Amino acid sequence: LSQFKSDDHTCAACSVCTMSSTSSLCQSILSQAQSILSKSESNLSNSQKRSQRTRSVHHKLKIIQNEVASLFASASRMWHGVRYHSDVLLREINDTLHQRSQLCDALDQSLNLLSERSIHDALKLHQADSTDGTASSSATSRSSIRDKNSLFDFVNLNSIQNLLHKAREHLESIREIDKIGRNYVDESKGKFDGIKKKNHILQSMLRKDSTADEESNVASGDLTEISAPPLHSLSQSESEMKDMHTIVMNMTQECENVRKWENDLTMRNPDHSTETILQQKIQQSMSNLKLHMKKLQELELIIQQRYTQIEEQYEMVSKFYDTAAQTLDTVESFIPEMSDRLSRFDNLSNMFDERKNRSDIVQIYQEIHDLTVWYKFFPVAYDSLLLELHRRHDAHEGQQKRIKEMQQELQQTFDEEESTRKNFFEEFGQYLPASLFPGILEDTPRYQLVCDRAPSSVPNLNLSDEELDKVRTRLQEEQVNSDDAGFEEGTSGEERPASESNDTESSSQQEQQQSNESIDRR
């Protein structure tokens, strides 16, 4: 046609040839338009089917969404119940570990303090045997202190180590319970956080009149709000399809006109002016066909894009439906699992109570407490012993001086009495008959100071005034610390720790005695 317009041909043969090619072109364009129409009809039909299927799946998604929301509320209550019970149990376990570890540490600290307190050299060099740190122990427990360097050497270390070993074994068994409980909590929290995240995504994806927030987009892989295909989109496609039918009908009419005008040019041999008019009409029809084809292709592209969107939406909804179904299964399985966790925590709590309150375990920590009290008071008693030995030495020296003075006074009294009696006999004895008072012949009685028993020698500590002040200051500090720790100064030296007893057999009488001693200590 372009060639026909540009070349100045006047022969009939060229006109016929050009008209024939134009008719074929029209037929080809019309055939292409009908193919586009058929394809668009197929896309519209598929869009309607996909849309219906998408709406069906979307409806099921809404049902799952509501079911998951309801189950998640129950799961949340179950989780908070598990968390509450676990917090109570783990807090009690932690308090028990803290308190009983403190008891063991306090005993260790007391023993360390004993190792820092050295024995006075005067006591070590003193030849008399001493007791294990008290003034009233039996002879069977007496031992020389010359081989002892500190107060710690008086401790029955094997017994203490055995006691602490049992206590720490018990603490380790409690830590195992604590570890199991924390693992239960961590596992449960991980699963709850997982279903919480999935539920949040599910509710966000199906939320009406809003798009998913940033967290949901990230968590779901850039999924946006999922909804059913809008009805107006398909209605618009149907309207566009009607427009396409109209366009094809118009194109068919244009092709008929071109064919008719071509026949007129070929069969009637019109004059030049008529031929020009017919050719212009043919050119106009070809231009119209071009415009119709452009519009038809635009509508085809719109319907194709809409079909692609609906297809993608269907794929997205189907994919998310599978995820939602898995979420539903996960939430459904979480509730009985949390019920099982609660049962496990009950069993764990019973196990903890049994290990914590066993009578032998309670007795172990009571003995550790009593030993700590005793060994913390030991340095107080030792410093008091130093002051007492210093006082006794001074008292002994004063007594010896006083005794010597009294002995001298008694001797002087005896000598005076002896002299007086002698003078009496010399002056009057020869004149008195012996039978008158036989007692007059008795010798002068000699009085002596006699001790009821041989006293033990008291070592001379040779403590200077500065050393005495240092001991007194330290003693005051130790007594304050002992009072703060709940120790009583009235604890008798006879109340020896149970761990230092030579008798390993227990009886009801011994247990009662230990109980009474424990009460006295407290």
At 266-298, the pLDDT tens digits run: 776 777 888 888 888 888 988 898 999 999 999
**Residue 50 burial (CB count, 10 A):** 20
Q: Are residues 249 and 379 in the same domain?
A: no
Whether residue 144 is contained in a domain is answered as no
Q: Are residues 328 and 280 in the same domain?
A: yes
Helix (H) or strand (E) holding 16: helix 12-116
Q: Among residues 287, 227, 192, which one has the least CA distance to residue 54? A: 227
Q: Are residues 189 and 298 in the same domain?
A: yes
Q: Are residues 352 and 367 in the same domain?
A: no
Q: Are residues 251 and 375 in the same domain?
A: no
Q: Which residues contact 370 (CB under 8 A, 6 or more apart)?
A: 497, 498, 517, 518, 521
User: Could you tell me the residue range of the domain that residue 519 belongs to?
Assistant: 363-423+451-498+511-522
Q: Are residues 216 and 247 in the same domain?
A: yes
Predicted confidence band at 224 (pLDDT cuts at 50, 70, 90)?
very low
> What backbone torsions phi and psi does residue 108 show, to the nearest 5 degrees?
-60, -40
Give me the pLDDT at residue 265, please: 80
Give me the pLDDT at residue 122, please: 82
Whether residue 301 is contained in a domain is answered as yes
Predicted confidence band at 352 (pLDDT cuts at 50, 70, 90)?
very high
Q: Among residues 145, 79, 122, 163, which one has the least CA distance to residue 374? A: 163
Give me the pLDDT at residue 356, please: 92
Euclidean distance between CA atoms 348 and 189, whole angstroms? 18
Predicted confidence band at 87 (pLDDT cuts at 50, 70, 90)?
very high
Helices (H) and strands (E) in the chain, counts: 10, 0
Is the CB of residue 219 less than 8 Å from the CB of residue 199?
Answer: no
Task: Name which of 107-116, 161-170, 444-453 the model is least confident about.
Answer: 444-453
Whether residue 169 is contained in a domain is answered as no
Predicted confidence band at 146 (pLDDT cuts at 50, 70, 90)?
low
SS3 content of the chain, % helix, strand, coil (to 5): 80, 0, 20
Whether residue 478 is contained in a domain is answered as yes
Q: How many domains does the chain have?
A: 2
Q: Are residues 219 and 272 in the same domain?
A: yes
List the structure tokens of 204: 């966000």
Q: Which residues contact 213 (CB under 8 A, 6 or more apart)?
A: 204
Euclidean distance between CA atoms 1 and 24, whole angstroms? 11
Give me the pLDDT at residue 229, please: 59
Whether residue 30 is contained in a domain is answered as yes
Give me the pLDDT at residue 21, please: 73
Predicted confidence band at 448 (pLDDT cuts at 50, 70, 90)?
confident
Q: Are residues 197 and 222 in the same domain?
A: yes
Q: Are residues 94 and 69 in the same domain?
A: yes
Whether residue 136 is contained in a domain is answered as no
Looking at 325, 356, 387, which one is the last position of a domain?
Answer: 356
